Structure 1
């Protein structure tokens, strides 16, 4: 008997793919980071996955993003599991106090927000480098790249170049995106720290 369509995740664009991977890898009690919380959808999923004994750190430089995220969490009584920080993800290594199992970056701008406020390579690359050090062996760094907006192509090129330089013995790096879409469509980079690895 075929599954009802409501039970099947539709993999249109990179975000549902990111969520599918998070559901596979994040466990109750884990500690995780949403480095760009935006409207809070990734933060909410992470909060549900880590459960009452887990911890989520969520970052954004825009107050509107933090307010939307806080409201989304408060609506389902999960705000207490999350530490929201009104700061750039460049500082996440200063504020996250423990090894984590997953870190999510959704680059670009805040959906529905000011499109002139975007993530930039000069802060994104240090944050990604710091993320590798925070990850537990086997942990995931998930990066959704948006090459199609002004500045997004430069940031995407910088992130891809950075990821290509990671040692294949220490990190498993995958580029995952739809083939039958425009060339500048968003895609996801999946970086897993090797199980034997103990320091980035």
Structure 2
């Protein structure tokens, strides 16, 4: 197994490390929580000019930040001002290679505007239908506030109930870190009973 560098141990970099193992140039990907645009840019760089990236957010300022970041790096994505729970209205079933979620609130913005359990679960379910077989979904879950704690608990309960013949779900945690560190979750839509499991940074 390739040794992880110190910077790879941050949750966003750990998730990126995993996604790199599964996304190729020309793929269709979704950033379900655009935020400041970092994951959108990351997916654009992975999929290249032949790929397609769509990013969702309910806050105009988030999409403005994302557009600015993409322009600085000469990348393009389709930015959608809508709830990620409606993503099935924009993407066809079984089309996406990767869908990324980073729940919580927009850094530097009103912390009262944050993702909530009901719409987040609806978005995850929509995303699972959009994923192609062999496709992956990543979640970054938080529990620093009451809303985030409720959201995390509800999402994990829903994931526990997914059909194990259709989806492989792996949760992880920073077990000895203080201050409620975020939890990375990795989901793969299986291709069949003989399909191989998630791989990358030691997940086999």
Secondary structure class of the residue paired with 1:139: strand
1:97 to 92, 95, 104: 92
Secondary structure class of the residue paired with 1:47: helix
**TM-aligned CA deviation for residue 139 of structure 1:** 0.7
1:114 to 110, 117, 122: 110
**Residue by residue, what CA displacement relative to the aligned partner does 1:162-197 show, whole Å, maximum 9, x if unpaired?**
000011111110002211112622111111011228
Moved over 6 A (4+): none
Which residue pairs with 1:130 in the alignment? 126
Q: Which moved more, 1:10-19 or 1:24-33?
A: 10-19
**TM-aligned CA deviation for residue 61 of structure 1:** 0.4
Question: For the residues of structure 2 that align with 1:112 and 1:28, how far apart are their CA atoms?
Answer: 32
Q: Which moved more, 1:100-109 or 1:166-175?
A: 166-175
Is this contact kept in 2: 1:13–1:186, CA < 8 A?
A: no
For these two proteins, the number of residue pairs brought into alignment is: 189
Q: What RMSD over aligned residues (CA atoms) do the two structures have, in Å?
A: 1.5
- Does 2:189 correspond to 1:190? no
Q: Which moved more, 1:124-133 or 1:177-186?
A: 177-186
2:32 to 35, 59, 66: 35
The gaps in structure 1 that reach 5 residues or longer are: 1-6
Is this contact kept in 1: 2:165–2:192, CA < 8 A?
A: no
Is this contact kept in 1: 2:138–2:185, CA < 8 A?
A: yes
Which residue pairs with 2:22 in the alignment? 25
Q: What is the TM-score normalised by the length of structure 1?
A: 0.90
